[in-house]
Structure 1
């Protein structure tokens, strides 16, 4: 792979990360998860509330289905499985996959509304003219994201065996 590819990948990650990861620290998410029965944020650091570990692991892993904590820990990779596995197991005792995905979607929508305002398309009217228009239009209902996440339930579509493996 070329260094140009890596640079473009880093730039894309840097552009998307604040929006994608914002829901983990948004007060809207903490409120939604508390409404489901999770605990509130255990600590605030530098003005940001850290998420409850059970809510964080369960909500983030829910897009794969109601999978075991070991699956979530393996997916997270850099997280300590000794923390993730019991957090997910406890999370599934509190809520369902559907409820936590709905809560996360409401939180993300509210967070983006707070940051971008009621009409995100209005922001495009004030963009510098030298920038290209994004092909992805922001939709207030966010149905395109929800449908995509729900279609990728790993419990309904187990991984297929690789050719030549037993």
Structure 2
């Protein structure tokens, strides 16, 4: 019995779905008690025939629906593209901000190191000369610290990796 019901609904679905080709659908119950559907008239001896009028096929409605669907897909595609572009821009801005922060941190570190080395030069210059500390030693020490400052300014990455 379950199969008959499933078959009946399936047949009805396909027959009603094919109203493009049929203007009228006939339904009746045959002598065995099986519900029948057809787009052609049933046999003459069948009683209680019902007719279902088909819905005429409207090509223009399909065209409108297709255009509307295509427009929705295009809008969704543009929206997704904008979203991805915004995300890419946001990531690029975040990366630039991180790079800028790193650069500022490196510049602060360089300035701190430069100030430390300059203080070292000032301390050497303020040191008095004596039997154990000559003007040549003083000039040599200042020269070494000045070379460190030059290296710091010219190549800070190498300076800090040593």
Both structures adopt the same fold (TM-score exceeding 0.5) = no
Rg (Cα) greater in structure:
2
TM-score after normalising by structure 2: 0.21
TM-score after normalising by structure 1: 0.21
Higher strand share: 2
